[in-house]
Structure 1
Amino acid sequence: MSDDGAGGLGTPALEVRGLGLTIGGARILADVDLRVAPGELVGVIGPNGAGKTTLFNLISGIHRPTAGQVLLDGDDVTRTAVAARSRVGLGRTFQTSSLFPRLSVVENVRLATQRRRGGSLSVLSFPRRGDAASTEAVEHLVTVGLVHRSEVAAGDLSHGDKRKLEIAVLLAMGSSVVLLDEPMAGLGTADVPGLVRVIRDIKASGRTVMMVEHHMDVVLGLADRVAVMHHGELLICDTPDKVMADETVQTAYLGDLA
């Protein structure tokens, strides 16, 4: 199914055309068309097995589609490697942490800054504190509300703070299109509002965000539009109010939750 919500807003920051994945004769994802405008936040919802994470894997380059295209700012990156997509501004978090647990919070962000600037990826090559890259790393920690924990080992952070640190790493890598894969998964109730504020702030900074999330109240409170996946297909992508009022969505998704 195609969505029409971002079609008239110039070149989309992210677009997939006829995206599909078939493995061993089994259709995992089928003919997905989706356009995400610069600065837009699109929430992706659907029952377990609907194809949400598969969609993210194809967009980020972890898997290659068997049909269709992925475009970033109008450029076809369908056959581009994960690292190359990262270099042109696509960043992704995962359901499990990808941090360096023994490094400090600021060192994790500093490594990402070094990578983006083309420097060494060794902690041993860190220059003196106060250089431009280190200053930038601190700025990203301010953005996500972790500057006060900059010297703490990443592995000692709470689950919620780890999620914030992962976002800071993406910012340090220069990601202009950010894919968040279930950012609220495993968070305690007290941690959710803080992470919601961080996501709202990175959207307000002009970045484009796609977010897979099971917490409906979070999706409805953050998203400009909501894309509903079901059995590997895109059912609808529209404003939260229209999606929640759609009879097909109520039957295919909300009915599955009843």
Structure 2
Amino acid sequence: MMKKIKHFLAKPIVTVLLLVLAVGLLLGSGVQGTRAALNYYSDTYQSRLSLTQIGVSLVENDRVVASRDYKENGEWTGDESGSLLKSIVEMKDFKIGQRYPEVLAVKNTGQINEFVRVTLVKYWIDEDGNKIQDISPDLIDFSIVENGQWIKDETASTNERNVYYYKNLLEAGETSAPLTDGFKIDRKLHEHKKVEVTEEDGKVITTTSYTYDGIEFCVEAKVDAIQEHNADEAIKSAWGKDVHVRGTTLSLQ
């Protein structure tokens, strides 16, 4: 699909953003029904002074699940055929508490070098689509790889949202080191239950019902990429974050 860029800024900043969404329905002890969707943010900017080829893709378990690549003429192509956590949310025997392989990385599919960041958002919703506040998003658990390549932005992170910057310049055609290598729904979710004790014909009957029946866990993975040129100023302007770039290495201030 080809689309024209509609927004131009005066500053020579080139940035691209994409978003992938996964939703899994929890029933009883596992995922019995699922739905997943892929969406793109439309607010992508390119300057009149720098119509260059920039592109980025989110890679999940060695396959591209979302991508957006710009051409010199301002048009872009994107792959909207994928979905996040698809193999997990479609499992018939999904088990709460079991960790499953989930390797997320970013690939530079453009023609210029870039710095990238990933935002992971996790939350719960009820059957009506309302966000649930009394179940912690921390129970939706990605295993973050401790490889020293990704820097967590503590000031921008909450228990629902975590922001990670890739510290090295991602050259054209290069794939980053993995950000995550696993995913699970924490078994502490089982603590959200209601126990009812009744007596019938002299017998004590204990009935346990899980209060998470029918709720959905939601995961969003957002990828931002920005050009190498004047990266510290560009990141401040586009993402509102103070960073220090020395050569090909980025650090947070």
Please indicate the TM-score interval, normalised by the length of the shorter structure: under 0.3
TM-score by length of 2: 0.22
TM-score by length of 1: 0.22
- Choose between structure 1 and 2: higher strand proportion: 2
- Highest Rg: 1 or 2? 2
- Choose between structure 1 and 2: higher helix proportion: 1
Between 1 and 2, higher relative CO (CA 8 Å, sep ≥ 6) is seen in 1
